[in-house]
Structure 1
Amino acid sequence: MKIDHLTPESAMLDELGRRLAQIRKQQGYTQEELAAEAGIGVATLRRIEGGQDSQLETWLKLLRALGLAYAIDALLPENHASPMAEVRAASRRKRRKPASGIVWGDESE
């Protein structure tokens, strides 16, 4: 399932839980083993794999235990260049110029 901006949060949690379970199994972990490796409870892991809400810190522990900590950087990239954000920022800068045409010298460009 592809997750996009129209995907409901509950469906996102279900999909992420499914993906986590799949990776856990591919790496040969039981739920008990992965929970112990990540330092979380087995019941917590079961809830996450079942698509229930969880804390981000728990996800970080799981990703680290699975050797997937690098994936965290893709979640929120350090430098995200969005063309639309740049257009909006330019539009806001244009609106700040004085309407009267008089320039006092203290306007920011």
Structure 2
Amino acid sequence: MNLSDLATDDAVLAELGQRLAQRRIDARLTQADLAERAGVGKRTVERIEAGKSAQLTSLVRIFRELGLLSVLDELLPAAGPRPIDQLRHQGRRPQRVSKRGQSTSDDGWTWGDDP
């Protein structure tokens, strides 16, 4: 089931809770074991698996313990430079090349020759 197909926040939390419970079971951990290893309360694990809300730090600790932090990396990858920013940093590229000629104006005036 895709999370985007779920209509409510409660439905999304319930699905996430079920998925985390399955990952915990696949890792052969009890709720108490996971809670201890992650540094959260057993009740926190129970609430998350039941689809109740939890603090983000608790979720991060549980994800870390279950080896799922890479999933968060995929979910929200680090922002790279935007193409428009790259173009701005490149500066304006020259369209043509011209040689600078030497000034041929010789009016005879030099610095310090003020009248």
Q: TM-score, normalised by structure 1?
A: 0.69
When residues 7 and 74 of structure 1 are mapped into structure 2, their CA distance, relative to the original with a 3 A threshold, is: farther
Deviation per CA, 1:57-85, whole angstroms, max 9, x where unpaired? 1110001111111111122122379xxxx
Cα-to-partner distance string for 1:15-70 (whole Å, 9 max, x where unaligned)? 00000000000010000000000000001100000000111111100011111111
Listed as ranges, the matches of 1:1-109 within 5 Å are 1-4=1-4, 7-79=7-79
Larger radius of gyration: 2
Q: Distance in 2 between matches of 1:5 and 1:77?
A: 22
Aligned letter for 2:78? E
The CA distance in 1 between the partners of 2:3 and 2:60, in whole Å, is 20
Q: Which runs of 5+ in 2 are unaligned?
A: 85-115
For the aligned residue pairs, the C-alpha RMSD in angstroms reads 2.0
Q: Percent identity?
A: 41
Partner-residue secondary structure (3-state), 1:70? helix
Work out the number of aligned pairs and report it: 82
CA distance in 1, matches of 2:33, 2:6: 35
